[in-house]
Structure 1
């Protein structure tokens, strides 16, 4: 069915005149609008005051004469309230609370002799350079926690895992089975302070022992965009950052989610696959959170008995309250490990920069410093952080398939593409600058649109025009050979998007010759994805720390484990410590051997 709007004849029939026709959008697509332009969250060094001057802060105060820390905190919270502040969170063990203060309240508290410091409740951000997962949803709940697997396959051993020697520690004969009696993380609790987790993922269910959501206040730490849908029974899952980092640490052997064709069906295995995981959610689906949530999560991790805390997040500025919290955690015997940041600047992000925290930068699988990895004072170690394969939200990893005339073409779904499959006749829509670019071959009955990249036209405009012309699926042909299929975006979610992929210049040249033929396009979601950032390097170091500590949880402590990591790292830069690599690449086998030398020999 073709659609045209006749513009009518001006002044009746004209001897040399005819009529112009202009294609109209297909029914149901007329009001389709573009999503708003997205922007990446920049680091915020402070919590900026509102127009009325009110500001979110963290207040540290002196211990009073009250019997308990909670009573002490409650008493001070009352004073903040009387001064005109609105208390947001209490952190009793640290004599801290966060509040929103007017300028007058800040002045009143500045005169209070019991106030030690007032710090901005600044934003913190995830330090991964990943794309958001595809939209995915599932019913609430997960299977009962299974026992950890000890048998899998060597195909689960990722490049990052092998680079840090983890499998050499617990699978010396390389048969895909955990070696009995060798350290693999058992007896160690790692607390992952991040964006939560997907409790449905088979890689993590055996490791999880407890969680808390510091954004919503719930006790499940699930990575959710929203709690329920309109029916009240479906959860909408958010970003996979926390799932990815947690699985890098503790994904188990033989668990197996949905993998890309040709990959090992067992999925991946973590650096310390029998470690116990505590999950603290402080980052929302956009990868942003608040400093007081991080501090409160750190307090909770210690209350749960965590040995190690892993933080793939940071901010650009130091924070007095945060520093105090991490200093105290170290004094309490907790090993904190954090990412240095992704701006490539000669300045390490916080909390990684604090002396009480092990700061982790990123390298490629070739052992070369990753250009995005922040460096300088505070860089202690590096780990693999480029193209790291790990678990993500179930069905959240984009995967596209294009088939025509018996040929398969590699493709990448555009960010925010719809999920689904469609087969139809392929129509050339040129640069996709308007509905009419698809020509008379386009019908509202549906077709596969082929659109060339370029022309100064945004991808979302190209795809919108193709959809309004009747396309039920869209293929974007790249015009640059060096980029392969490319990694492009539709710039925001929309219920109107259709399955949309990009193909390489080579594939585009072939597909143009198939215009008019039947083409199949399928965009679906996998359970594993590649991500890049110091966020990905950090859990590798965390996992190695868990391995080392599990050698003897009773005799070893945080300082001994820290020394084992630093003293045995493989030097990658100039001899000794340097700002890009710190002490070097963490090495599990050498660190475990070093730790064995620290143990007290058994009595004869």
Structure 2
């Protein structure tokens, strides 16, 4: 089939995701999960916008003083006018509901309880509108010769070249023996590039199954495809094509969710013995700010009130850190996107990004080329993405996330595919209904790093200490930017080939 080019059409301002040959107007778009890439916003102001982070009036997180929960917690919670809905042994966390406005104070007096806080909801990512795919890439490969050569859209996956994934495959590392849990929105569980590697799925979103239920952009499918799309001569290929996928839905298909769902998802992934957990989601939250309270009616904002909950935000980070520490202690390497607020974490220390700012989490910033389609073999693939959060303590490593910073609306052809030049600078992967699409964000960078972590675990035969995985990532990363750990690349941009071939 000869590729065709469709006339531009508008794309939702809530996200940036382009279907192959289903085009959009660049003037109408913003980066996925991000503020507009034209300027570094005041991140705290952006995060404090109404509807960004909302306190759930009747939903609570109980935080123990230790990793053990108090004895007879259910009965004691009931005595405090609450109902215990979940206990997560070993984390020191439990979930509860109550309509009593004094529940937190009452339950906080239970012996062994550190604090009781409200759960918060947030917009983990913003979905884009429907995209279609009707083209075949058959031209010259733009990646090094490897097992991925027979994948139809492998030539569009410049991120694999950037991290030397093809060279890692050629060295025999493909992720076999590694299980990666992807905590995200819904997934296309029947996608031909995902299905061969899916070993299980679970939803913690009430009323929504793990299967993506919309016909629009599937954020979860995109991230899962970058990590471990199968090597099956169809569309794309994952960084770790022989790794297995555990797909865990902790956000609605529309991108919103609650931190309690995230905590449950982390715990479930650990119980299923995941080697790597990828979380391409999160919220930038001011440590000192007012928040909306849904007054126990999340679908009705008419009675919402504003509250100042500085201590609750501090304790929320404690709760998430308890979950990520539990995961690390039980053998799961936890990776999260650093966020897309173009925020300097060293300068704006009032802002906390959850979960990337939690304890033991490997935080990933985004890199991207500019105008790659104009020179696929010579363009720098390691530019700093215009939207990525940065800061020496905020970024552990960098990985390909893509960008749309290339100016203008030029048209280019790569591997037989015609599209806007800026589109090729984004990350190409799976989406809903068995299709494929471009997207950009630190959400796309995290999966590249998670794929490399899976290659490391696979080479080790599975069951690898997360500290050793982190050490290998650090020793093998390409030290870009200023020598040592710097604000944009952290310890460096991950390198799959070096990670699986260097001396251990």
The reply to whether TM is greater than 0.5 is yes
Q: Match for residue 581 of structure 1?
A: 489
- Mapped partners of 1:208, 1:314: distance in 2: 24
2:387 alignment partner, one of 372, 381, 390? 372
The residue that corresponds to 1:140 in the other structure is none
Aligned partner of 2:197 in structure 1 is 207
1:98 aligns with 2:95: yes
Structure 1 residue aligned with 2:449 = 541
Q: Kindly indicate whether residue 189 of structure 2 is the aligned counterpart of residue 186 of structure 1.
A: no
Q: Does residue 283 in structure 1 map to residue 251 in structure 2?
A: yes
- How far apart in 2 are the matches of 1:153 and 1:560? 33
CA contact (8 A) 2:87 2:95 kept: yes
Structure-1 separation of matches of 2:478 and 2:158: 16
Instruction: Decide which structure has the larger Cα Rg and report it.
Output: 1
Aligned residues: 379
Which ranges of structure 1 fall in alignment gaps of 5 or more residues?
A: 1-35, 137-149, 173-181, 226-236, 257-266, 389-480, 486-502, 505-523, 599-604
Offset, 1:312: 0.2
The question of 1:352 aligning with 2:356 is answered yes
Partner of 1:427: none
2:229 is matched with 251
Q: CA deviation at 1:387?
A: 5.2
Residues 535-554 of structure 1 show CA distances to partners (whole Å, capped at 9, x for unaligned) of 00000000011111111225
For 1:116-265, list aligned pairs within 5 A: 116-127=114-125, 131-134=128-131, 153=150, 156-157=154-155, 158-171=157-170, 182-216=172-206, 221-225=210-214, 237=215, 239-256=217-234
Partner of 1:422: none
Task: Give secondary structure in 1 for the equivalent of 2:384.
Answer: coil
Offset from partner CA, 1:400-439 (integer Å, 9 cap, x none): xxxxxxxxxxxxxxxxxxxxxxxxxxxxxxxxxxxxxxxx
Aligned CA distance change for structure 1 residues 100 and 43 (closer, same or farther; 3 Å)? farther
Does the C-alpha gap of structure 1 residues 224 and 78 become closer, same or farther in structure 2, counting only changes over 3 Å?
A: farther
Counterpart residue number, 1:80: 77
Deviating above 4 A after TM superposition, structure 1's stretches of 4 or more consecutive aligned residues are 36-50
Q: Secondary structure at the match of 2:354?
A: coil
Q: Deviation per CA, 1:42-69, whole angstroms, max 9, x where unpaired?
A: 646996457xxx44321123689xxxx8
Looking at both structures, which has the greater relative contact order when contacts are Cα pairs under 8 Å and sequence separation is at least 6? 2
Question: How far off is 1:255 after superposition?
Answer: 4.5
CA–CA distance in 1 between the matches of 2:244 and 2:441? 24
Q: Alpha-carbon deviations, 1:198-224, whole Å to 9, x = none?
A: 012100111000110000377x62122
Deviations 1:321-365, CA, capped at 9 Å, x for gaps: 111111121122210000000010113622212340100000113
CA distance in 2, matches of 1:37, 1:574: 35
Q: CA RMSD in A?
A: 3.3
Alpha-carbon distance between aligned partners in 2 of 1:47 and 1:530, rounded to the nearest angstrom: 27
How many Å separate the matches in 1 of 2:388 and 2:256?
Answer: 19
